[in-house]
Amino acid sequence: MKTLVCLLAVALSVLVATGYAQEMGKTEPGKIVREELSVLKATVLAVDQEKRMVTLKDEQGRIEDFKVGKEAVNLPQVKVGDSVTVKFRQSIAVEAVKPGSTATMGKKTTIIRAKPGEMPGGTITQQISSTATVQAIDKKEGSITLMRPDGKSVIVKVIDPANLDRVKVGDELMITYTEAQAISVERAG
């Protein structure tokens, strides 16, 4: 349930942009979507194949060591000087649904890896969906009280208080939180 609490809090609060992040907002009839994209670029300074450690230096000059799991079968292709790009996307979609609807709830993970022998890369996407019922709306404070499926309530600030006009007490919301990471490694030069 901790995941759901975080999901609801993040769903209607401000996504904080950090580093090279940019926030995008879309509004469709009956649906609100907020996305944030962060991109990290770094250069490989060292690779210890035996210990599966990679040392990276980002564009700000920060140097970090990373332990690479055994599932990354293409680590032997990584060389000093290679360029690593990591893209991280978070999105929240909030959509009004009919009470008792059979909207899909739950958690789903998708992993796509580079084929053996290719340059390392891939994506991992995690998506959590849940419903919440609107219990109260406080336009003065710009917040909404939602009841989770476990019967507990949570008060959250909304990004755009104008969206409070789009819901009423008793509405059921489907909240979908998606987090995706993509990594690619390119040969230097």
pLDDT of residue 10: 36
pLDDT of residue 28: 54
* Confidence check: pLDDT of 115 > 80: yes
Entry pTM? 0.68
CA-angle at 152, arms to 155 and 139, nearest 5°: 25
Long-range contacts of 158-162 (CB under 8 A, 24+ apart): 158/12, 158/13, 159/12, 159/13, 159/14, 159/15, 159/25, 159/34, 160/25, 160/32
Name the band, by pLDDT with cuts 50, 70 and 90, for residue 3: very low
CA-angle at 103, arms to 99 and 108, nearest 5°: 145
* Confidence check: pLDDT of 12 > 50: no
CA distances to 12, 27, 136, 157, 164 from 142, in Å: 10, 18, 11, 6, 8
pLDDT of residue 100: 67
* Gyration radius (Cα) of the chain, Å: 20
Question: Side-chain half-sphere of 101: how many Cα atoms within 13 Å?
Answer: 16
* Confidence check: pLDDT of 2 > 60: no
For residues 180 and 17, which has the higher predicted lDDT (pLDDT)? 180
| Most confident range, picked from 57-61, 71-75, 93-97 | 57-61
CA-angle at 188, arms to 112 and 83, nearest 5°: 45
pLDDT digits (tens, 9 = 90+) for 128-168: 998 889 999 999 999 999 998 888 999 988 888 888 888 89
| Most confident range, picked from 70-74, 97-101, 142-146 | 142-146
| Average of per-residue pLDDT values in the chain | 81
pLDDT of residue 5: 34
Contact 55, 44 (CB under 8 A): yes
d(CA 12, CA 177): 11
CA distances to 110, 116, 164, 184 from 95, in Å: 23, 40, 13, 33
Lowest-confidence segment of 20-34, 39-53, 100-114, 170-184 by average pLDDT: 20-34
Spacing of C-alpha 51 from chain mean position:
29
* Residue in 147, 145, 163, 140 with CA at minimum distance from that of residue 155: 145
Contact 63, 49 (CB under 8 A): no
Residue ranges of domains in the chain: 2-38+86-183
